Structure 1
């Protein structure tokens, strides 16, 4: 990985995120809350979070690995280094240089194990990339 994006202001638990999730429509907000909650389960004391570009964002220390965003009819679960992740279930969308996302719609099924594995892989990938710079 040639560059690692870093944000200032990440907290162990950002109150603005729960407030943002509470403001979403119940159906889409529940989806976003569930998957951001899964991101919050990652880590060994190094998980931080913040609002970035209007979205709840999960970080390893100060480096982002995932986010959720709510749109009119769907929720994106996104990965800052998604292009580097294996995706055997074919969930990831996007063609950007680094970022990928999974689009979730109410009433549509997603393999929760596969999406959970992507979240964990995104966390672990970034943690390994940061290892040479961590103290």
Structure 2
């Protein structure tokens, strides 16, 4: 899959603006793209949203952390008790370090988010 130009531009901006958070965001993105045969990505709301084929998550880079937002997060049974947020639909994980990608069981949550969206 070739990366769309808007996604590439946003990744470049993140890399220039905060290299350590870019590393986290790029690691998350790589895992998301490995999840399913076809994952579509688009730039929206200042982040990258992913769909396979239904929208299931997004990555957003803030000043101090990377947030992985789950579209149907409220429907996920949280196996590790790490999801944050109290809204009707969404939940998120805040990642502060590259180690958080492993420590916060990101791959588990991505699979659950994808199932919840189907």
Shift of 1:44: 2.7
Structure 2: distance between partners of 1:67 and 1:126:
13
Which residue is 1:121 aligned to? 112
Closer, same or farther in 2 for the Cα pair 1:110/1:37, shift >3 Å? closer
Question: Residues 91 and 115 of structure 1 are in contact (CA less than 8 Å); yes or no, is this contact kept in structure 2?
Answer: no
Question: Residues 13 and 48 of structure 1 are in contact (CA less than 8 Å); yes or no, is this contact kept in structure 2?
Answer: no
RMSD: 2.1
Of Structure 1 and Structure 2, the greater helix share is in: 2
Closer, same or farther in 2 for the Cα pair 1:74/1:89, shift >3 Å? same
Shift of 1:93: 0.2
Greater gyration radius: 1
Are 1:78 and 2:69 matched, yes or no?
yes
Q: 2:31 aligns with which of 31, 38, 56?
A: 38
| Paired residues, number | 115
For structure 1, the residue ranges without an aligned partner over 5 or more in a row are 1-10, 128-135
For structure 2, the residue ranges without an aligned partner over 5 or more in a row are none
Which residue is 2:47 aligned to? 55
Shift of 1:74: 0.7
TM-score by length of 2: 0.85
4+ runs of 1 displaced by more than 6 Å?
none
